[in-house]
Structure formats: structure tokens, C-alpha cells
Structure 1
């Protein structure tokens, strides 16, 4: 096998035989023999899934590759992979060894009734690999084009496109604009009677026409965000097996150990830049949902695109299905995940390691966001990977960025300074400690010694106030275990510590009782109360309760949305400390600059950028976050701030543009139909 142009015909194989054959360095005349010999070597090594990268716009090379594949025995199937800009690769599946008549591969003659690879545009009915090449790229034709959600335009295909791609008769005769399609989608959406029906409606739209889905979401972000993400995504995860229609994302299971890279190669898009991965152990405030947790990475990545403009083909949702300890799911005949107890210990770590290394190698250093891992794993995995790859944990760091931004805005209302705040957290898990860590970082940057900054943060967990005298504290709580009297409940802790800010991240509903909130109001003229647990049913208190019990003096935010509240003729708009304010912009910024790692400084910069987006008029109205309809603008500002930190700290791998913000905006995906002719 010739490894490079100019090598002798008997030279040993030098190309890495790992299932990816990159032909960028080869001429079409060299490709045929190389493909045959490479596939033969893959078969000998037991590699049955191969990606042949020929590049977009290299039609001659692609046709040569397909002509070679048509003559090779032992190929089960092959198909093109790419996006709207063209096909960049061909995915090949080899038949198992037992199904091949002879060992190795041999040349075969093409069926005279079957057209050559270069004649794909005229492939007769029945061939499932029909494509058409135009000046804009290579596209599937006929029903295949209508069934490809990243390319389908539905009734918006023009008359010329209908003729060119064999769509005549497959669509109603009227050509519709995207605006008309959005109108039709909204009319159908509003006819749904429950939030779960609305969620299913949105998923169905995404599965058939991704461009229209994102146009609809972006145009109606405030109305739709609670449906496609929290709180409704929590209900959808609980009923994942019942409402399942079509698979989306990748499931990497405990049974895939040793072949995770092979599983990742099955993903059809090559240019993956953002991965959201969960193991389903702590989904929102709902606990262990196993493989049902896949709804979270899917929903998160939808927000990466809708809120920040990350191209959908650059996104990869992943569920690490390591089993579940949820008895209800194990007994549910409709549960779609592994029916086994959770993988734990060294075997669990080995699977996560294999996944991270495979993703890092195959997709060239993507951002990997860990999502909804249990506390015992979330901190540990973050520490394990944060200095090795581009990664963050949204529960720990994303939440912290949003809350720090909310505190910055609250200080504009109260006139206070960050260094003067004392914060009490109900909940000693990943979110609470992550928020405390980031605020300590911000206090330290303002000149406060770290030890003093940490003493301004107190945790209450399920056993009571976290103090040094307690035994068997988890490692992540130790930095906030202070000298002091042990107090068993929140009310006594509020009375003793006298916090200026009360933050709920406990997952325990109605724990900010009237007595607790009134105590905060006695201590502070403008008490800052953040009830952040998701979904809404898990919130520590409702917005109406916080405003009523403080006579409208509370500065309130929640994790899931609450409607506006009117008290004494005054209207209050609750803030929503939604992580969607921060994580999409962080991801976009990391992708734009090619960040090697993501530091705590990145989230401090993101928080400052978010707070700057709240206008003086909004502050006067008591708003601590900008309206959700401004999220794409906000995400661009955050992305520019993130990239600025990466360039300043020499963490970026891509050349620095002259105008960072303008460059970021130019990279944002806009869901408008493009002509394929």
C-alpha cells in the first residue's frame, strides 16, 4: 500500500489505520488503489466502519473513490456525509468477515445495468445513493433530500430546485416563503393543549426541517425557551421512552468499552466543535434518569444554536449510558437504556476517559461540556480534565457565571459593593460551591484576600450548616467549612449569619419559607433572593411569595421562569437566572478562537459581559438580566469577552481577528434558506 505520493509500491503501510482515510494529499489517479488497500488493511484489523475524507468541492476525487467502492467486494453499504455546503466524506460499512466469500478484498466488475459513480445525477429509481452536484455542492435528491433535516426546505423549495432535485410531485404545488412556514408552525403550535404536546411538536419540526425549527425558535425565543429547555425538558426526560420518535445524538454505552472511537465515527458530521455529554445521573432536580437524560444534551445544544448561533452541524449531543439505579426505569418496558445497575469506580472512569480521548482525537479538540453528572463525579471529572482539554461543567461554572452577573446587576440597584456581600447557600452541591468559587475569584480580583473572601460564603446542606466541627464532609465543601456554631436549619442560620444574599440550589421546593424570607427582609433593605432549583416545581419559593413577604423589596431571580407579579399596583418582573445567558456564548467564544482550555477567568469575564448588557432603564425597572429576546446579542458579547481572555492568556489556537466582536457576529449561524443551485 502506497502511503504517500512517490513511495515505492512495496513500501509498508504508513498511514494510520484507524478507520479514517484522509485523501486530501492525493490526486484522483492515486485514490482507487489506495482505497482498496486501505479497506483491506481495515478488514484485517477488524475495523468495519471507515470514513474516507475526500473534501468538499473535489468532485473528481469523490467520483474516483465511489468508482473504486463499486468494484470492491465485501462492502455492506456506503453513503455520503456532509452539510449544505457539500459532501466532504464517504462513510463505508464493511461486511463481517464471515459474509465475505474470500479472505481479503478483490476487484469486481460493475453491474452493467448500474451507472458508474460519476453518473450519480442520473441514477435510476431504487438506488439509495442518488446525488446531484451543482455549483453550491453535492446534495441528495428526491425523497432523500426531503428526509434530511439539515437540508430539507419543505414547501420552500423553488420551482427550479424541484425540477433539478427530482422533487416535482413529492411536494404540494405551492411554493411558500419561510415566513409563511413560520406562520403555519405557530398556528399548529398554539393549538396544542399541553406543554408536553408543544415539546413533541417542536421535536418533530426539528427532525424534519432544522432550518425552519431554528428560525421559529429565534423569532419566538421568550415563548419557546421554557418548552425546548427547562422546565418542560424535565418532563420530556421523565417520559423519554414514551414519546420517543426518532433518535438524535449518540448513545455511548457501558458495553462500548474498547470501541468508543468506532461509535463516534458513526456521527455523520465531521466538523464537531461543541459536545454536550451527560450520564443521566442527576437530571435537573429529578435525579437518576439514565438514558432518558439524553433530552438534556439535545436541548442544551438547541440553545447553543438558537441563543449563540453555533451551527447545528457543529453540535454533538452524547449520553454516556452506564446504566441506572432507578428501579422504576429498570422495570419500565418502554425504557430505552441499558437494563443494568450503574457502572462505577475504575470501570466508569475508564469509559469516560476513552470517550474524552476519542472525541478529542476524532473531532480535533472540541469543547466538551459535562452536564447533569452527580456531585461525586462532577467535581472530580472537572478537576481531571479542565487543564487537559477544552471543557467545563455548566452546573458548576455556567450557573456561577449567571449568578455572579445577577449579583453585579443587583449591586447596581442596592448601591452596594461585591466585597461587602455575605452569601448563604441552601445546598452544598456542585452548583452552590461553583457559585461560591467564582464569586470568591471576583472578590479576589477586587483586592480581597482569598481566605477572607471564602469566609463570606456559608453553605447549608441536608444536615445543616457546614462548619469545621462536622465529620465526614465531602471534599468540595471543605473550603467553606468555617469555624462557628453548628446550626440545624436555614432560619437559624439566616438569623446568625445575617446574609445579604440568599441562594437556593437545593432541589428542595418551598424551603424558603415565609419566616426565612421575612428574616431576610428585616436584615436587608433590599434582600437579594435567588431560588434557582429547577424545574419550577422544585423552586425554593415562588416569585409572588418573595415579593409579597418582603412588601416588594426583594431582588428576586429563579432558575425556571415565573410570570410577572403585581403588588399594590406595582408590576415586578422576576429575573430568570437561566444558564442559557452564559453557556452558549462561552461555547461560541471557545469555538471561534479555538480555546485549548477554559479557565475560571473566562466565566468571570462572561459574567461581567452579561451584566453590562443590562441597560440603565432595565435596572430602574428592577431587572437584573436582559430580556431573553436579546440573547443572540448577549451571547456575541460574551463570546468576544471569552475569546479576549483566551488570546490574552495564550490559550487560543486560531489567529486573532482585528475586531473580535465583529468577527464573532460574522460566525453566528443564521437560519435562512440558501439556494442549492
Structure 2
């Protein structure tokens, strides 16, 4: 059964929600979960409200010891938790103390991922309130090491994995994801993860981390975000020989086989989630990144952060600098250091 409790504000109880916003079947479709577009209905699913033991293992709604006594009575939690009630603020204080005791950044990363998997609201509370300290933990630079060792530290799957084995049935795979109202998809094929090269299926850490920032910094609700890894193999011999590698053990597919799989994915995304879903291409190799952006830029809502995002931020910085040093862009000479895609967008 799938839980669709409406996300709660601090201090709000699931008991305060209207039944119309929590139960499907002829009632208000609060999040548009029964439709992919405004004029195209999809088959409605059966929903139920999580309670008891299941509620404590649902990261989206679990509050741990922050459940009040009234909530514990109403949701069959009595006896499943210690008798004390601890506020979210005190939970945050305890967890930050624990995370700061770790000396190795990867240990902090794993602690944060474990938290995200058991108490989502507390994870984002920590990240929002301590963004300068925790941003380098959940994303760069620590996420790079996490991707390199993803197979070894893998505990619970995050995001959606679509491999060559799913060719011809990607739409069915998308329907396996529990959330129906997806607004943002971050997808990678793992070929150019940060400056680390081809990490294959283990590149999943990038979409997961990026979407955590969408929520913490951009305010997009977590249930509207979908991390995706397209697994077409890897040319990384070290990974292919690693007994803990979690992806396809084959050389990376190219040419028609590769683009056919990506095309099926893009078509399935629009069919399942509608035309307004945003697809962000992340850490694709240059030869595929520009091709995909050009191909789907007119048919889908897409962008490539490595190309367009980086270029726009750099350009904004340069334009802002002109207010201090004067003149126009043509009056100055710019040095580009490194091999990132930003230089292609300018020239």
C-alpha cells in the first residue's frame, strides 16, 4: 500500500488533515496524482494512510520520538517508541553533535543518507539549518568519494535505476516509482561524474545529492523529485572487476543502442508525468551532453546544469563585476582554466 499523507508543517499533526486530502477515490486530487497532464487521466491507484510499525519505517512521514502522545494513540505507535517525546529541535541538536564527532567526511555522508532514509523531514531540517556545514557533505566534494565507493557503502536503493535490461519497458519501470506527481527529474548515465570520470551505475549519488539541494535550497517538496541513473555499462575496468559493483558488468553502449534507450526514457517520462516535468541532464560526457540537449530542447522541458547552469552563473558573475570595474564585456579578456563545458556555451 502506498502512503499519501499530505506533507506536514512543523507543529502540525496528521490528525489535523482533512480526509479529502488524504484518501483517493472520488475525492479531491490534491497533488494531481491522478493525472499526468491537465487533460489526460491515468489509472488511479489505491491509497492508504500508514500507521503503526509501517509508519515508523516510512521516511516521508516518520517523526521518530517527535510523535506526540496524541499521535501515538491515534496511529498505533504505543509501545513501538520509548515513552519520552523529544522535539524536532532537540533531535536536530543531538544529530548534529553526532555528525560533528565523525572525522572522515564519508562517514558524515553515510550518516546523513541513513537519516534521509529513516526521517526525511529531520534530514532536511538539518540541511537547511546547517547548510554551509552540511552542503559539502551531501554534495561536492564528499559525494565524489561516495560515488567511487557506492557499491561498498550501498545499503538501501535510492532513486530509479534504468538499465539496458529494461529496454522496451521503461514506462513500466517508471510506474514502479511510488510517487505520481513528479516535477523534477535529475538523470545521469554516470560517464563523467564530477572530475572523476566514468563511474557507471555508481553515479546515482549525484542525482540524489542534487535533488536534496532542490528541496533544501529551492523549496521543491521531496516527493516531487526523482533521481534516475541510466545504466548502459561502464568502461571503468576497476569497477568491472570490483565484486561490489552494483551496475551492469559490460562495456558502455554507444551509438544507436545508447540513443534508442535514452529516447525511450524521454518519451516515457513525458507520457507518465506530463509535459511540464523538468528533466535535468547531469554529468553526461561531452559527446552525449550536447547531442541530448539539442535533440530534446524543443520537445521537452530540459536543461544541462554542467553546460547551461555553469555558464549562466559565470556570466552573471562577470556582468556583476563590470559594475565595479566598468566597461563592457568586449573591453576585457577572459581566461578559461579547465576542460568544463562552460567554455563551449560562451564560444
User: Fold-level match, TM-score > 0.5?
Assistant: yes
Match of 1:422 in 2: 333
2:293 is equivalent to residue 338 of structure 1: no
Distance across 2 between alignment mates of 1:296 and 1:59: 34
CA drift at 1:368: 0.2
2:301 is equivalent to residue 382 of structure 1: no
Distance across 1 between alignment mates of 2:97 and 2:172: 43
CA offsets, 1:33-54, max 9 Å, x none?
Answer: xxxxxxxxxxxxxxxxxxxxxx
CA drift at 1:143: 1.1
Match of 1:265 in 2: 175
Aligned with 1:368: secondary structure? strand
Match of 2:239 in 1: 329
CA offsets, 1:520-560, max 9 Å, x none?
Answer: xxxxxxxxxxxxxxxxxxxxxxxxxxxxxxxxxxxxxxxxx
Match of 2:145 in 1: 235
Pair 207,385 (structure 1): closer, same or farther in 2 beyond 3 Å: same
Larger radius of gyration: 1
Query: Does structure 1 retain, via aligned residues, the 8 Å contact 2:163–2:230?
Result: yes
Unaligned runs of 5+ in 2: 1-19, 28-32, 35-42
Aligned with 1:423: secondary structure? coil
Match of 1:159 in 2: 69
Query: Does structure 1 retain, via aligned residues, the 8 Å contact 2:22–2:49?
Result: no
Match of 1:90 in 2: 45
What is the CA RMSD across the aligned residues, in angstroms? 1.9
CA offsets, 1:40-82, max 9 Å, x none?
Answer: xxxxxxxxxxxxxxx95556659xxxxxxxxxxxxxxxxxx99
2:310 is equivalent to residue 355 of structure 1: no
Distance across 2 between alignment mates of 1:250 and 1:147: 20
Aligned residue pairs, count: 314
Match of 1:140 in 2: 50
Match of 1:370 in 2: 281
Pair 407,59 (structure 1): closer, same or farther in 2 beyond 3 Å: closer
Aligned with 1:251: secondary structure? strand
| TM-score with structure 1 setting the length | 0.45
Aligned with 1:252: secondary structure? strand
Query: Does structure 2 retain, via aligned residues, the 8 Å contact 1:281–1:288?
Result: yes
CA drift at 1:417: 2.7
Which one of 133, 147, 169 corresponds to residue 223 of structure 1?
Answer: 133
CA offsets, 1:393-419, max 9 Å, x none?
Answer: 000000011111221232233234323
Aligned with 2:335: secondary structure? strand
Query: Does structure 2 retain, via aligned residues, the 8 Å contact 1:378–1:430?
Result: no
Unaligned runs of 5+ in 1: 1-54, 63-80, 83-87, 92-130, 132-137, 437-479, 481-677
Distance across 1 between alignment mates of 2:344 and 2:137: 28
Pair 170,297 (structure 1): closer, same or farther in 2 beyond 3 Å: same
Distance across 2 between alignment mates of 1:58 and 1:246: 28
Pair 303,59 (structure 1): closer, same or farther in 2 beyond 3 Å: closer
CA drift at 1:300: 0.4
Match of 1:287 in 2: 197
2:161 is equivalent to residue 206 of structure 1: no
Aligned with 1:281: secondary structure? coil
Distance across 2 between alignment mates of 1:428 and 1:191: 37
Distance across 2 between alignment mates of 1:387 and 1:281: 24
CA drift at 1:171: 0.9
Distance across 2 between alignment mates of 1:347 and 1:326: 19
Pair 411,338 (structure 1): closer, same or farther in 2 beyond 3 Å: same
Pair 293,58 (structure 1): closer, same or farther in 2 beyond 3 Å: closer
Give the number of the structure with larger relative contact order, counting CA–CA contacts within 8 Å between residues 6 or more apart: 2
Pair 168,58 (structure 1): closer, same or farther in 2 beyond 3 Å: closer
Which one of 315, 320, 324 corresponds to residue 404 of structure 1?
Answer: 315
Pair 433,228 (structure 1): closer, same or farther in 2 beyond 3 Å: same
CA drift at 1:210: 0.6
Distance across 2 between alignment mates of 1:339 and 1:193: 34
Distance across 2 between alignment mates of 1:352 and 1:325: 18
CA offsets, 1:618-656, max 9 Å, x none?
Answer: xxxxxxxxxxxxxxxxxxxxxxxxxxxxxxxxxxxxxxx
Distance across 1 between alignment mates of 2:230 and 2:201: 8
Pair 58,188 (structure 1): closer, same or farther in 2 beyond 3 Å: closer
Distance across 2 between alignment mates of 1:348 and 1:415: 48
Pair 57,186 (structure 1): closer, same or farther in 2 beyond 3 Å: closer
